[in-house]
Amino acid sequence: MMPYDSTNNHHSDLAPPEFNGRRRISVMLADDHVLFRQALRHLLESEPDIQIVGEVGDGDSVLNVAEKHHPDVILMDISMPGTDGVSATRDVKAEIPGIKVIILTMFSEDGHVIRAVRAGADAYLLKNTEATKVIDAIRAAARGASVIEPKMAATLLSEFRRMSNLQEEDGLASLTEREIELLRLVAKGLSNKEIAFELHLAESTIKNRLSILFEKLDVKDRTQAAIYALSHGLVQQPTTQR
């Protein structure tokens, strides 16, 4: 059976056109509910800097379609026929690590959140999240920033503390003041370009220093680094607005 790949955009096999001199953010949708995908497509296509390049309705097709279109961001449901969204996220991150994955699901249980972050998800949002926050998360992920929803922060911090050990504490103690400042900026959601501007360094230098920092802390991405910073009190924990 051929993988399901639905897109009405005739430019889906080409690089996304520019908007105001900048390349549009290419987005792929992975959700088995057709009506939800249609609503999401309608929402995102109203944004001039975002372009939908592909859709899938099952987890087994995610990697194939991602390899075909190379989107900047994938909006991924967890519960889909075949491979679940967490496993699909792990597969995408293993094969095409540059793609950002935002989990968009109905599941708020701790286990799902933790599994998704371990798989490499760059954000975890609930389907009842405000539309503007979904759009903001796409833009943030595309520029390399971490997105941690306040509702999920307590769960992630609790898990990270549970997994903490003396080796990790030694890792924090071994950081220089410059590395701690770099970690704080990552935790605040700044992209490499923004951090470079803040620290008056080249963007390539920031990229290299982050690689060294992640290795020291035994974390694999910006999201885990941000959680590490939060759990060790380097930045203030976000609060949920009421």
Taking residue 37's Cβ as centre, other Cβ atoms within 10 Å add up to 20
Tokens of 141: 């992920």
- Angle of helix 192-199 relative to helix 177-187, nearest 10 degrees, comes to 140
Q: What is the pLDDT of residue 57?
A: 94
Q: What is the pLDDT of residue 8?
A: 42
DSSP code per residue over 94-140:
HH-TTSEEEEEES---HHHHHHHHHHT-SEEEETTS-HHHHHHHHHH
Say whether pLDDT at 93 is over 70: yes
Q: What is the pLDDT of residues 34-86, one digit of tens each?
A: 999 999 999 999 999 999 999 999 999 999 999 999 999 999 999 898 889 99
Q: What is the pLDDT of residue 4?
A: 44
Q: What is the pLDDT of residue 242?
A: 42
Which of 132 and 151 is assigned the larger pLDDT? 132
Percent pLDDT > 70 in the chain is: 77
Q: What is the pLDDT of residue 72?
A: 97
Which of 204 and 2 is assigned the larger pLDDT? 204
Which of 107 and 34 is assigned the larger pLDDT? 34
Q: What is the pLDDT of residues 138-161, one digit of tens each?
A: 999 999 887 766 667 666 666 666
CATH class of 164-231: mainly alpha
Tokens of 148: 């941690």
CATH of the domain spanning 18-151, picked from 2.60.40.10, 3.30.70.1150, 3.30.470.20, 3.40.50.2300: 3.40.50.2300
Tokens of 47: 């944004």
Reported as a pLDDT band with limits 50, 70 and 90, residue 15 is very low
Residue type, 35: L
For residue 13, CA distances in Å to 42, 53, 60, 66 come to 20, 8, 20, 11
Q: Domain segments of the chain: what residues?
A: 18-151, 164-231
Mean pLDDT of the chain: 81
Which of 218 and 157 is assigned the larger pLDDT? 218
Q: What is the pLDDT of residue 112?
A: 78
For residue 164, CA distances in Å to 84, 173, 216, 217, 226 come to 28, 14, 14, 11, 14
Which of 109 and 68 is assigned the larger pLDDT? 68
